[in-house]
Structure 1
């Protein structure tokens, strides 16, 4: 008697790629690059992969952006090269890939503006408390 099956899934996490704002939970976090493989099994042992999916995953709410194999490979190359040295060219390639997939990326200027506005609000609250 041979026991066969399908649908066994394995996933490989390649680590954080970059801070991206999630459209689902609105948190800004380092999204993870992940590859999920679905296998045909024989006696509960994965034998033949028959589907491979590539994702960028939000670590907060587990929302994801589906990627094409080429986009996945580009992101993986960016991660490997950025580990050796930071490059603005790699950053712009990442931005274009994520934006095509439907993500929202904030630039450093936007992040600085948001921090400045938060500091301004805190200072305003301090002044209001001290006048009361």
Structure 2
């Protein structure tokens, strides 16, 4: 008997906010994304391993991590 297991990462667009970028300093749209990694068994996602939130500037393309509390607090639209 053998088991097929691994990890799968799903990227969801959480929202878009207008903020000042930390990298370029421009007031621009920032795309908030959520990356959820889950342990899979026979290609079925079972156990969440890690969830990360990131913010990416639409002007310069800089991407950096943000805390979950900050991502949920932002007024997305």
Change (3 A) 1:47 1:61: farther
Change (3 A) 1:50 1:67: same
Deviations 1:50-96 (A, max 9, x none): 10001111235542121111111111xx22xxx5xxxxxxxxxxxxx
Question: 8 Å contact 2:18–2:27 — kept in the other structure?
Answer: no
The gaps in structure 2 that reach 5 residues or longer are: none
Question: 8 Å contact 2:40–2:46 — kept in the other structure?
Answer: yes
Flag the structure with more relative contact order, 1 or 2, with Cα contacts below 8 A and sequence separation at least 6: 2
Question: 8 Å contact 1:22–1:28 — kept in the other structure?
Answer: no
Q: What is the CA-CA distance between 1:14 and the residue it aligns to?
A: 2.1
Q: Which residue of 2 aligns with 1:18?
A: 18
Which has more strand, going by share of residues? 2
Three-state SS of the structure 2 residue aligned to 1:70 is helix
Question: 8 Å contact 2:57–2:63 — kept in the other structure?
Answer: yes
Two-structure CA RMSD over aligned residues (Å): 2.2
Three-state SS of the structure 2 residue aligned to 1:73 is helix
The gaps in structure 1 that reach 5 residues or longer are: 84-132
| Structure showing greater Rg | 1
* Equivalence map 1:1-132=2 (5 Å): 1-6=2-7, 8-21=8-21, 23=23, 29-75=28-74, 78-79=75-76
With normalisation by structure 1, the TM-score equals 0.48
